[in-house]
Amino acid sequence: MKQITSGFVAGLLSLGYVAGSSYAADVNADLSACPTGSAIGEVKSCGKVWKLKSGHAKLHNGMLDAEVKGLVLNDESTGQFNGTPDGVDAVAAAVICNGKVVAQSEPQMLSKSGDAKIHAKVSVPSDCASPIVALRERYEGKIGGWLAASGK
């Protein structure tokens, strides 16, 4: 009985089923800019077209890291603000599972040239098999739609 019990517990440990554990699937992916009109589950899309020089997100063992460079508007309808982040002053990194935001970082400043870095500890449900990391805008003090994401 002792061998069966210890083997069973070892199996549960390897699968991440022990109370308090939270082993979701990892993300290690480049980010793509929002093309507009494309929601990710409950997260609305950006209101205008954005472009991204480079971006990457990594989620591993509850640590979420994201970095973007050149995340700016790519929409001529914005006039003089095209090529800038306009009124978006920060971004928050959200982890989306099955269409729902299950974790989100605090907003981090987005520079005038569209650069930002996020490093945060997050708790993601262990049943999150295919997470998407999305950077969401902070505009006029409110977190809004996504501007760049993995898996898009």
DSSP string, 52-104: -SEEEEEEETTEEEEEEE--EE--GGGGGGTTS-TTEEEEEEEEEETTEEEEE
pLDDT, position 14: 35
pLDDT, position 23: 57
Q: How many other CB atoms sit within 10 Å of the CB of residue 39?
A: 12
pLDDT, position 25: 86
Helix (H, G, I), strand (E, B) or coil at 110: coil
Residues of the chain with pLDDT under 70: 1-23, 152
pLDDT, position 36: 81
Query: Is 0.85 topped by the overall pTM?
Result: no
Domain range list for the chain: 22-149
- The whole-angstrom separation of Cα 2 and Cα 121 is 37
Amino acid present at 152: K
The CATH class of the 22-149 domain is mainly beta
